Amino acid sequence: MIRVLFYVILVFLLAIGFAWLADRPGAIVLTWQDYEIRTSLMVAAVALIALIVVLALLGEAVRSIVKAPDMLGRFLGTRRRERGYRALSTGLVAVGAGDARTARRAADESTALLGEAPMTLLLTAQAAQLAGDADRARKTFEALAARDDTRVLGLHGLFVEARRDNNHEAARHFAEEAVRAVPAAGWAGTALFEYQARAGDWLGALRTLAANADAKVLDKARAKRLRAELLTARAMELEAGDPTEARALAQEAHRLAPELVPAATVAARLLTRADEIRRAVKVLETTWKAAAHPEIADAYAVVRPGDSFRDRLKRMRRLADMRTGDPEGAMAIARVAIDGRDWSAARAALAPLAAGTPSERACLLMAEIEEREGGDQGRVRHWLTRALTAPRDPAWVADGRVFPRWAPVSPVSGRVGAFDWKIIEQPPLREALEIDTPAPAPEPPLPRIPDPPPPARKVEVLPPPAERTEPAKPEPARPEPARAEAAKPESPLPPPAKPMAPAGPVARPAPSPPPVLPPAEHTPGLILAPDDPGTGEDEPDGRGFRAF
């Protein structure tokens, strides 16, 4: 708008000038050698303006001719950059879409057009990562780390590659380098903090945590909680060797996070060793008011060494009154009463819980009372059965897994501050069977019970005839006497003077066609069946001997 106004004013001034010259006519005479040029003032002014315009056009033409090579180079360079940026954009889109082939081709094209610019190097590295070419990605990130303007970017890429190769020593080195280069790099500070905590370097982790808090990498409340947990871990480490330093660290952790149970128990234990009973009691009571916990109750029960059972029971009741109606208080009283064999006090403490829906730990305490007081196994089994289906109690949980005690670092992920005291609901049994348990295998068939033996039947043995008192002469025509002897039953026949009854079922192999045997000597009046006589009506299984 200002330019338009300027042009309007300029034209207006020129018009005024020409009008002023037109009102004041005159003549201009130019004499040069033998020539004399005479013209009016208005024509001379117009000619002068036309000459200036022509000279300007000629000057521009000459300048364009002189600068033509540079202009052509700039034009071609602009087109080259446009093609390079277009390839760079295509490559970034391909990386986001997971198209490794297109990303690799676009990275090569953009590098050829734009050179090793930071964006082209980054695209090359990402395309190599997408294609699984770890060596090329590592070399590209090293090139980025060598530049001052992209040092942190290259270190982050090298850190990621080292983590992928499970080379945690190198990953920690790259994180330390990035922290030294840019202290406000959030990923570097967080990674270095985790590595120091995993290695048990509590002092280094505390320094890194303070640097991260100053750089606004994490909020103040989170930094305060993490500092309390690190101080607790350091106090637990120094508890045996330097109790004075450990006590100071535990008390500071308790001031930062009064609800942190491990800090309170460690501080109370160390204060008790230093004979500061009142301060130990105050620490435990403060944490109990913030969050009732069985470990606080256990520490409170023995906060004064040498107390009698009645004193400990009285102190535990006072602790339970600080959180009226809390199941942890009732179970704490019952635990002390069971240790002192005061069954009535233990039952009275657990009565409100037993009347409703007791938790698993309450059921187990009731089972212990029944076992130790009277040994009523029926009542013990009753409470143990209820414990199987009772609601679960809170436990130390980190990354979805239950642990018996608190730890500053999660054994699963290595994360600091991962432990929480909470309840993990047990899935229904039916869903667990459908999802986790394979289908039961078909039951094997029950073993067949053998049929009872038939009733014993008397076998009448007839006396031998008089003419057969002498042994019979062997028949000369009998073939293969050895085979016949071998085919005889293994057990010899009883003497004919004694009655014989079947001996009951005897296991034998599957029936097979009986061999044809030659006639053999036998006792008159008793007929012996072959080895495998087959199946008959009296003995369905065809086992043992049969009398005819």
What string of DSSP letters covers 465-496? PGGGSSPPPPPTT---HHHHHHTS-SSPPPPT
Q: What are the tokens at 463? A: 């006396």
Q: What are the tokens at 376? A: 């009523």
* 260, 286 Cβ separation under 8 angstroms: no
pLDDT in tens, 376-397: 899 999 999 999 999 999 999 9
* 179, 189 Cβ separation under 8 angstroms: yes
Q: What are the tokens at 149? A: 């303007």
More confident residue, 75 or 228: 228
Neighbours of 368 (CB within 10 A): 16
Q: What are the tokens at 203? A: 């002092």
**Cα–Cα distance, 84 to 31 (Å, whole number):** 65
**Cα–Cα distance, 502 to 521 (Å, whole number):** 21
Which of the four pLDDT bands, split at 50, 70 and 90, describes residue 453?
Answer: low
pLDDT in tens, 58-110: 888 888 888 778 777 777 778 888 888 899 899 989 998 999 999 999 999 98
What average pLDDT does this structure show over 48-57? Answer: 87
Q: Which of 34-43, 263-272, 283-292 has the lowest mean pLDDT?
A: 34-43
Residue 490 clears pLDDT 90, i.e. is over it = no
**Cα–Cα distance, 529 to 548 (Å, whole number):** 9
Give the residue extent of every domain in the chain.
2-47, 394-435
* 336, 313 Cβ separation under 8 angstroms: yes
How much is the pLDDT for 136? 92
SS3 434: helix
* Among candidate residues 245, 276, 232, the one with its CA nearest the CA of residue 407: 232
**Cα–Cα distance, 548 to 254 (Å, whole number):** 99
**Cα–Cα distance, 295 to 287 (Å, whole number):** 11
pLDDT in tens, 187-207: 999 999 999 999 999 999 999
How much is the pLDDT for 263? 96
More confident residue, 344 or 497: 344
Residue 174 clears pLDDT 50, i.e. is over it = yes
Residue 503 clears pLDDT 50, i.e. is over it = no
* 299, 281 Cβ separation under 8 angstroms: no
Residue 47 clears pLDDT 70, i.e. is over it = yes
Give me the chain's average pLDDT, please: 79
**pLDDT > 90 fraction of the chain, expressed in percent and rounded:** 48
| 164 Cβ neighbours under 8 A, 6+ residues apart | 134
**Cα–Cα distance, 307 to 329 (Å, whole number):** 20
Rounded to an integer, what is the distance from CA 418 to the centroid of its chain? 12
Neighbours of 359 (CB within 10 A): 19
Backbone angles phi, psi at 305, to 5 degrees: -65, 145
- Range list of H helices, 356-510: 360-373, 377-389, 429-435, 481-486
pLDDT in tens, 290-345: 989 999 999 999 999 888 999 999 999 999 999 988 999 999 999 999 999 999 99
SS3 409: strand
What average pLDDT does this structure show over 433-440? Answer: 38
* Among candidate residues 514, 513, 502, the one with its CA nearest the CA of residue 544: 502
What average pLDDT does this structure show over 30-40? Answer: 79
The percent of the chain in helix, strand and coil, each rounded to the nearest 5, is: 60, 5, 35
